[in-house]
Chain A
């Protein structure tokens, strides 16, 4: 059974800072990784995915993947109060499911 681990936080950063969110996964064979953002009481929405070692940038977001160490991270540059949410790391399961971590709660203070 694939597992995804995240520090639940909360992670508190001031506005304009870089927020760093980390995720580790159990299955060395996992190929791709998804970062979802979930506002309180709302549904998950995809921020970005990554499947190659290294960095992938999309606007203020950078995903970093290190398959040898089995971790994936999400950096948020110039954090804004609107980034305050729970960030979910997910990997595809063996079949059709997405396996989610418990999420890290980010709080950006103005």
Chain B
């Protein structure tokens, strides 16, 4: 069964450092997403990406964040200068189409980011 894969599964970084989280969406999907979940809190939307550009972003997705699809398979989330409050589980997801009434979003297994 096709799946979304994320690397690394766990990343520890020093405050102020740049991190890049990587994702390989399902190959025939067209929409890609990043969500984050701070421990004990809800899953929060960060950004969606379609046709090689950002489709939508939330208030969380400020100038410290960027996304890129550097080649035909990878989808990355970069945090330029990490803060303690960036510590969270980051989920990549993909969908074949824009989310409609019956579109399933497939989530990767997540990257746990710990900023120390």
Contacts and interface: CB of A to CB of B under 8 A. Distances in A.
Interface string B41-55: 111110010100001
B107 A43 contact: yes
Contact of B101 (A51, A95, A102, A103): A51
Interface residues of A, number: 25
Contacts of B56: 93, 95-97
A17 interface: no
Given A43-B91, A44-B43, A98 B105 contact: yes
A102 B41 contact: yes
B69 to A, nearest CB: 15
B75 interface: no
Q: How many residues of B sit at the interface, in one of the four size bands?
A: 20 to 34
B41 to A, nearest CB: 7
Nearest to B107: A43
B18 interface: no
A96 B102 CA distance: 13
B50 A96 contact: yes
Contact of A96 (B48, B91, B109): B48
B50 to A, nearest CB: 7
B68 interface: no
B110 interface: yes
Interface string A32-66: 10100010011111100101000000000000000
Contacts of A42: 109-110
Interface of B: 31, 33, 35, 41-45, 48, 50, 55-56, 58, 89, 91, 98-102, 104-105, 107-110
Interface of A: 31-32, 34, 38, 41-46, 49, 51, 88, 90, 92-93, 95-103
